[in-house]
């Protein structure tokens, strides 16, 4: 019989199929106090873990003698604690990096201290056309008011100064910056914004709130591409040193996205970034007809869009159902009308983009829940609607979170930072629904934790300590603030790992230390599930691993010896 001719490409495939398959290298992480978390807080402990050549977990083993003896590499964990890589469910990656490259006022505790720091910075950089920075907080300064342009002019009057408040919802300008933005007594408050005025007049005082910030901010020179690349490098260094292996970037601009892509293309993207565009136009430009695929071995994906419904408590921009206790004529700022909100959410949902809405005040949270109720009738299936911050609820609205599985994406350290300010803004009658983590969990709604960095430091252990104690770094107040809302260590750690992964449609990829998921983990100097709040804040990250590769070592960072891998 004459054999039939076989096309060349089939012969090639057959030949390749007959070649011996090379064995993939496997690494055993041995002798560890291993912890993995499920979203519901269930804990699985293990003593060893095997990782394949693709950086995925093959399996974990409760006892060391259960692990395979024949592996290519072995890492002795020396009995140290290993937990899943921490996931910051709400941060601003480029804000972190650019903040590290500009004037930082977050450590100032008085107006005079801030003025001295601004003057020093201006003297150090005499050639910069603008002085730009962030981090001021008049509440910490004990001013009882916003700072003024005149107080900035007293230290820098020769060029524009523009400084964002710690929460990013207000900006402080000197007179030169106000002139550049043509902000005068005749300038009307823009929709969704407020120009603070000098007492007894319409003259601008120097602080612009929410949408009014754009009057000056649009004139600030944009960072160059090389500035952005450096900022991303600095942000990654800081996050990895804090044990953060993945971060949810809330408010990604097209420039931000291209910065992430450059890093990915050039092999500089070590962190995993779950991205939410800063607007519907940016979402469509980046994603096109839907969320992007996972890029760079699960290191980057655009999930959807972040929308802003209100401002922040500190600048009295959070939208409240009743007036502010310390400003009876103000209810905050509704940045989107009800129809606008629903139209934007619908435009995203129709292409299966995930929707995340910034809502801090009780009126804003109620409005988002109303919109989700309505839109869920049309947009069914696994939508994972998100509310970012979910900071102040009318207690009657909290059970509504579970109705459609709405994710509460919250930041525990905000409670400790905001405590006295929240009491002043809300009064005692509205504190029961503020920073209500346990009440949210009790509904069955998903909970995800983050830092809102650079608003707060990206230290997940400070967040964990706040979540379990409702106290700050000084242990205040004694017994905790609204202590009935404290949660367990297990629930808090789950919200920083598996819960944060679920909130970003990353479940099954990373967030747990189980077979098939990425080997993203952190080596610590103590067990967070056994630590007191004080000890929790002192936890030291010894090593950070992403995809089975070490990306940070504290010993290497301080010039010491790293642990060895044996073959």
Q: What is the pLDDT of residues 373-403, one digit of tens each?
A: 999 999 999 999 999 999 999 999 999 999 9
Q: Return the pLDDT at 147.
A: 96
Q: Return the pLDDT at 557.
A: 62
Residue (of 108, 212, 220, 204) closest to 169 by Cα position: 212
Residue (of 537, 465, 494, 462) closest to 86 by Cα position: 494
In contact, 313 and 391? CB cutoff 8 Å = yes
How far apart, in whole angstroms, are the C-alpha atoms of residue 86 and residue 521? 8
Tokens of 452: 């809102």
Residue (of 424, 381, 425) closest to 404 by Cα position: 381
How far apart, in whole angstroms, are the C-alpha atoms of residue 224 and residue 93? 16
Q: Return the pLDDT at 69.
A: 86
Q: For residue 328, give the DSSP letter.
A: T
How far apart, in whole angstroms, are the C-alpha atoms of residue 253 and residue 165? 20
What number of other Cβ atoms are within 10 A of residue 411's Cβ? 28
Q: For residue 385, give the DSSP letter.
A: -
pLDDT digits (tens, 9 = 90+) for 492-528: 999 999 999 999 999 999 999 999 999 999 999 999 9
pLDDT per residue rounded down to tens, the chain (567 residues): 333 333 333 333 333 333 343 345 899 999 999 999 999 999 999 999 999 999 999 999 999 999 998 999 999 999 999 999 999 999 999 999 999 999 999 999 999 999 999 999 999 999 999 999 999 999 889 988 999 999 999 999 999 999 999 888 899 999 999 999 999 999 999 998 999 999 999 999 999 999 999 999 999 999 999 999 999 999 999 999 999 999 999 999 999 999 999 999 999 999 999 999 999 999 999 999 999 999 999 999 999 999 999 999 988 999 999 999 999 999 999 999 999 999 999 999 999 999 999 999 999 999 999 999 999 999 999 999 999 999 999 999 999 999 999 999 999 999 999 999 999 999 999 999 999 999 999 999 999 999 999 999 999 999 999 999 999 999 999 999 999 999 999 999 999 999 999 999 999 999 999 999 999 999 999 999 999 999 999 999 999 999 999 999 998 765 443 343 443
How far apart, in whole angstroms, are the C-alpha atoms of residue 333 and residue 209? 9
How far apart, in whole angstroms, are the C-alpha atoms of residue 205 and residue 153? 12
Q: What is the pTM of this model?
A: 0.87
Question: CB neighbours of 393 closer than 8 A, spacing ≥ 6?
Answer: 362, 365, 433, 434, 436, 439
Q: Return the pLDDT at 555.
A: 83
Tokens of 16: 């390749």
How far apart, in whole angstroms, are the C-alpha atoms of residue 300 and residue 261? 8
Tokens of 505: 């449609």
| H/E element, 545 | strand 541-546
In contact, 408 and 447? CB cutoff 8 Å = yes
Q: Return the pLDDT at 24.
A: 57
In contact, 205 and 173? CB cutoff 8 Å = no
Sign of CA dihedral 314, 319, 323, 328: positive
The mean pLDDT value of the chain amounts to: 93
Q: Return the pLDDT at 450.
A: 98
Q: Return the pLDDT at 16.
A: 32
**Alpha-carbon Rg of the chain, whole angstroms?**
25
Chain mean position to CA 549: 23
Half-sphere exposure for 202 (CA within 13 Å, toward CB) = 7
């Amino acid at each position: 019989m004459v054999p039939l001719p076989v096309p060349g490409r089939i012969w090639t495939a057959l030949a390749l199929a007959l070649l011996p398959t090379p064995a993939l290298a496997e690494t055993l992480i041995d002798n560890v106090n291993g912890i993995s978390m499920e979203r519901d807080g269930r804990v699985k402990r293990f003593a060893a873990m095997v990782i394949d050549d693709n950086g995925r977990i093959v399996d974990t083993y409760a006892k060391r003698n259960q692990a395979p003896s024949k592996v290519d590499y072995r890492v002795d964990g020396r009995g140290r604690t290993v937990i899943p890589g921490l996931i910051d469910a709400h941060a601003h990656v480029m804000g972190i990096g650019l903040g590290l490259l500009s004037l930082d006022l977050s450590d100032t505790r008085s107006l005079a201290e801030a003025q001295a720091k601004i003057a020093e910075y201006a003297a150090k950089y005499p050639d910069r056309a603008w002085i730009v920075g962030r981090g001021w907080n008049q509440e910490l300064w004990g001013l009882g008011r916003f700072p003024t342009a005149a107080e900035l002019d007293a230290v820098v009057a020769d060029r524009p100064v523009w400084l964002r408040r710690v929460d990013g919802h207000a900006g402080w300008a000197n007179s030169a910056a106000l002139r550049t933005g043509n902000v005068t007594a005749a300038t009307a408050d823009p929709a969704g914004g407020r120009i603070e005025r000098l007492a007894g007049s319409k003259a601008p005082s120097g602080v612009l709130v929410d949408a009014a910030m754009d009057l000056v901010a649009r004139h600030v020179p944009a960072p160059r591409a090389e500035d952005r690349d450096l900022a991303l490098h600095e942000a990654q260094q800081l996050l990895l040193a804090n044990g953060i292996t993945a971060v949810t970037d809330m408010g990604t601009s097209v420039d931000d996205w291209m910065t992430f892509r450059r890093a990915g293309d050039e092999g500089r993207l070590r962190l995993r970034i779950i991205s939410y565009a800063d607007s519907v136009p940016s979402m469509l430009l980046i994603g096109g007809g839907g969320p992007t695929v996972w890029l760079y071995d699960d290191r980057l994906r655009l999930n959807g869009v972040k929308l802003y419904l209100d401002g922040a408590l500190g600048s009295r921009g959070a939208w409240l159902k009743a007036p502010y206790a310390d400003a009876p004529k103000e209810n905050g700022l509704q940045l989107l009308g009800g129809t606008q909100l629903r139209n934007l959410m619908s435009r995203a949902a129709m292409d299966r983009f995930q929707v995340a809405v910034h809502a801090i005040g009780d009126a804003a949270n109620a409005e988002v829940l109303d919109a989700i109720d309505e839109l869920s009738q049309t947009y069914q299936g696994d939508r994972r609607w998100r509310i970012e911050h979910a900071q102040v609820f009318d207690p009657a609205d909290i059970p509504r979170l579970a109705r459609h599985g709405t994710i509460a994406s919250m930041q525990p350290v905000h409670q400790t930072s905001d405590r006295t300010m929240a009491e002043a803004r809300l009064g005692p009658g509205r504190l029961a629904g503020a920073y209500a983590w346990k009440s949210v969990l009790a509904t069955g709604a998903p909970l995800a934790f983050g830092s809102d960095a650079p608003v707060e430091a990206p230290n997940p252990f400070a967040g964990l300590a706040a979540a379990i104690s409702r106290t700050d770094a000084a242990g205040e107040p004694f017994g905790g603030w609204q202590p009935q809302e404290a949660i367990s260590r297990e629930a808090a750690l789950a919200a920083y790992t598996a819960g944060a992964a679920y909130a970003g449609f990353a479940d099954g990829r990373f967030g747990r230390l189980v077979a098939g998921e990425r080997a993203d983990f952190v080596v610590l100097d103590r067990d967070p599930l056994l630590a007191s709040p004080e000890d929790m804040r002192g936890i030291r990250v010894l090593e950070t691993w992403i995809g089975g590769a070490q990306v940070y070592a504290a010993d290497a960072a301080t010039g010491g010896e790293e642990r060895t891998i044996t073959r």
